[in-house]
Amino acid sequence: MGAEQSAARDERRPRSVDESPLLRLIVEHAANALFVVDLETGDCLYVSAGVRALLGHEPEDLIGRSLTELIHPDDTAEVLAQTRLRVEGSGGRVSVSRMLDADEQWTSVQATASRAISHEGRMVSVFTVSDAAERLRAELGLRASHARLRRLLAEIGESGELARTHDGMHDLTVEALAAALALRDDVTCQHARRVTELALELTAAIDPELAAHPELRYGYLLHDIGKLGVPEAILLKPTPLTERELRTVQMHTALGEHLVSSIPFLSELAHDVIAYHHERWDGDGYPWGLRGESIPLAARIFAVVDAFDAITGDRPYRPARTVDDAIAEIERCAGTQFDPRVVDAFVPIARRIGSRSADASCDRSVGRRTMPLA
């Protein structure tokens, strides 16, 4: 590389990254590859060391090159269209494409783009790029599930059950979807029914108007419908998941939102719960990293209930913990994982659940002691 090219590369490199040793340490050791891209020219202003493991390229060889040079010709038009939309402040944030590796082979990758950011007079976006193999496998499962869903809806329609029920809802259709999930994983289905009732109770305590929305139940009941697209070997694994398997499971929010997009009567409220119930109050959740009140209220409410049920339920790799343990954990995470206002409203409800469980346990114990001998 010539002196002029090297000087140009250094000029284009974002100085803020170079000037912060701690930030550079974090970026350079991130598991995924990070690209800072000029949204006007498409040039790579910065590429992290993670690109070596992902594509085999040296980061400095890519700086100053257009990102589209690395993208498969069949995918370029879509990437450019998404880039234009990001400049305008819209457009999708996650895309799957093929990128050229150092061996001149095409590798499927998933790119998550930040919003457009002003940096040194340029509008840039930070692309987090990772191997898309897990996502592609999950989407193959999703396509099969999508086909089964269409057949299921067609069968319901032929039987007349897709018609609106007496209260104007589509309860039978949603129940059919829940039944489809039960066939795949009954534990997930039973969890969904438990948390639906508890989430509705909590919603009523926080926002009665929201709780009265007829489609809120649908979002709560179908929150894990995206797990239809997760491989069974991962979904039903009896031991803790590896980091790669965990990333595959985390795709269920985006897969679920995509899956229910084919159901015309589900509103944005149901979609919000399905898509955002794993976001965190502090912004460290997934899939979008939403923060605070930018997370829809229904999703914030459901996140607390979902965690409570997970803590108090048996898992293949650990027994259930007590209600008191769950309350302590949820209170500890108020302000980080959970909306503090939602936690404050939930704790009295959880304590009543704990009291009822204790009373029921005591009644069973008394019954055993006083049962007459045969």
User: Helix, strand or coil for residue 86?
Assistant: helix
* pTM score: 0.55
Least confident interval from 81-95, 296-310, 318-332:
81-95
Residue 3 has pLDDT above 50, yes or no: no
CA angle 172, 178, 184 (to 5 degrees): 140
Spatial CB neighbours of 315, under 8 Å, sequence gap ≥ 6:
none
Residue 52 has pLDDT above 90, yes or no: yes
Distance, in Å, from the CA atom of 357 to the CA atom of 350, rounded to the nearest integer, reads 11
Q: What are the tens digits of pLDDT across the range 210-230?
A: 999 988 988 898 888 888 778
pLDDT-derived band at 326, boundaries 50, 70, 90: very high
Domains present along the chain, CATH in parentheses:
3-131 (3.30.450.20), 135-363 (1.10.3210.10)
Q: What are the tens digits of pLDDT across the range 159-177?
A: 444 444 434 444 545 555 6
Instruction: Find the mean pLDDT for residues 343-361.
Output: 84
Spatial CB neighbours of 139, under 8 Å, sequence gap ≥ 6:
229, 255
Distance, in Å, from the CA atom of 313 to the CA atom of 330, rounded to the nearest integer, reads 15
* pLDDT, greater one: 154 or 310: 310
Residue 370 has pLDDT above 70, yes or no: no
Instruction: Find the mean pLDDT for residues 307-322.
Output: 84
CA angle 226, 229, 234 (to 5 degrees): 105
Residue 119, beta-bridge partner list: 122
- Please name the helix (run of DSSP H) or strand (run of DSSP E) that holds residue 109, with its range, or none: strand 106-113
The CA dihedral of 172, 177, 183, 186, to the nearest 10 degrees, is -90
DSSP string computed for 182-230: HHH-HHHHHHHHHHHHHHHHHHHHH-HHHHT-TTHHHHHHTTTGGGGGS
pLDDT-derived band at 114, boundaries 50, 70, 90: confident
Least confident interval from 17-26, 160-169, 229-238, 348-357:
160-169
Do 315 and 171 touch, CB atoms closer than 8 A? Answer: no
Residue 282 has pLDDT above 60, yes or no: yes
pLDDT-derived band at 108, boundaries 50, 70, 90: confident
Phi, psi of 66 (to 5 degrees): -70, 135
